[in-house]
Structure 1
Amino acid sequence: MGLYKDVMGTLVRVLAADNIDNSTKQSWQKLIDAELRSGGQGAGIAVRDKFDYDCCLYALLHRELAPAQWDVLVAKYSTHKANKVGAISRLVARTTSPAPQLFIFKALTAWAIPKLKGAQSGKRSTDMIVLPAEFYDINTWDTEARPDSTRGRWRLGIHKFLAVLEESAVIHVTEILDREQLFDEVT
């Protein structure tokens, strides 16, 4: 019997493993725990054992993925603030673009931390990174006020680079999960 259902759900769960403690449960953790107790995915495994598997898989992915692949996944999907910020800063250094460093930093950060509805009004969890609305204004990304077409081209190039990197990382994660036989067989 496999431990996980799909790649993206597994990836998000595993990247959240470093942000979980035993004090209070986040709402998504309670849902997973309830699913396990009710006979859902991985029901034959104790919650603590599943967490241990998540931690082992976290270490395996960190070891086997290329550093840029690991960073793009952590930047996009991790819930650990410090890890997310660290991954973003390492990706900035790895991103090749004619854009100035400030532009690259802001474009990459806006990609990794998209604007969320309800975040500024207090309707979302406060345990996540929420950037001020003006951070997403592309006019603030370039101090030399280059034309919109130039800034748009730069942003598109950076986002394409990140999308290709993310896709290659997810493919590699899928190969690892398949190799380790961690998915339920589809009937």
Structure 2
Amino acid sequence: MIYQSVISAVVRALAAETINSAGGCDFDAKVQQARIPGEISGKEGAFLVDCMVFGRLHSQLTSAKWDALVSKYSTHADRKREAVLRMAKAVQSPAGKRFIECAVVTWAYPKLPGAEGKRSTSVLPAGWYEMANWDDDGKPESTLRRWRGGIRRDLEREVSEALEAAQEILDIEELICSEAA
């Protein structure tokens, strides 16, 4: 299996741990034609590669870079929550601890269209997205926005660096399509 981009590889690899065989949309043919006996191919083969990429990235990325990818792209609720909390502890900002934690959590779980869980189960209650609730000291909104912007820039920079490191790993494995579409 060859991925189209590093982001698609990361997303598929992180989603692999939440995939089960309990059903869902299965559009792949149940019988694969010209299948070589003992060969793993089709969706099973793709899933195996996704799992291998998960293991490779997890073992070769630094814990900070791994946490950045999990916080941004994972669908595994427990792993994502743990990674978000570790990232919040590492953030350097003049803001208070509560503000930093709220800024990181709302970055990892952005407000989506159809909020309040109608279109996504990964939506926080509306109060989480109100910056005024993050600070008890009554700082001006411009200060809160500046703090939030700085925190988010740092988080996005960490994700970009993690994607670059993941790209290097996947290039070595020859798992990224190098041809332009």
1:119 CA drift (Å)? 3.0
Q: Deviations over 1:126-184 (max 9, x none)?
A: xx322011110000010111111211111111011101101100111111111110123
> Per-residue displacement from partner, 1:39-97 (whole Å, max 9, x unpaired)?
xxxxx932112111111110110111111111011011000100110100010111111
CA distance in 2, matches of 1:161, 1:173: 18
Structure 2 distance, partners of 1:183, 1:141, is 41
Tell me what 2:115 maps to.
119
- CA drift of 1:10 comes to 1.3
TM-score normalized by the length of structure 2: 0.87
- Deviations 1:97-141 (CA, angstroms, capped at 9, x unpaired): 11111100100011111001113262x14xx32201111000001
Aligned match of 1:62: 58
Give runs of aligned pairs for residues 28-67 of structure 1, distance below 5 A. 30=26, 33=28, 45-67=41-63
Q: Which residue of 2 aligns with 1:175?
A: 168
Q: 1:121 to 1:59 in 2, by over 3 A?
A: closer
Aligned-partner Cα distance in 2 for 1:68–1:6: 21
1:121/1:64 CA distance change after superposition, 3 Å: closer
How far is 1:24 from its partner?
A: 2.2
The residue type paired with residue 134 of structure 1 is G
CA distance in 1 between partners of 2:3 and 2:42 (Å): 14
Question: Displaced runs of 4+ in structure 1, greater than 6 A?
Answer: none
Q: TM-score, normalised by structure 1?
A: 0.85
Alpha-carbon distance in 1 for matches of 2:178, 2:75: 29
- Unaligned 5+ segments in structure 2 are 33-39
Equivalent residue for 1:144, pick from 123, 137, 143: 137
Output the CA distance in 2 between the equivalents of 1:88 and 1:184: 30
Aligned residues: 171
**Distance in 1, Cα, partners of 2:156 & 2:77:** 21
* Alpha-carbon distance between aligned partners in 2 of 1:115 and 1:179, rounded to the nearest angstrom: 36
Aligned residue for 2:179, secondary structure, equals coil
Give the secondary structure class of the aligned counterpart of 1:19. Answer: coil
> What's the secondary structure of 1:154's corresponding residue?
helix
Q: Structure 1 stretches of 5 or more lacking a match?
A: 38-43
**Matched AA of 2:102:** K
CA RMSD of aligned residues (A): 1.9
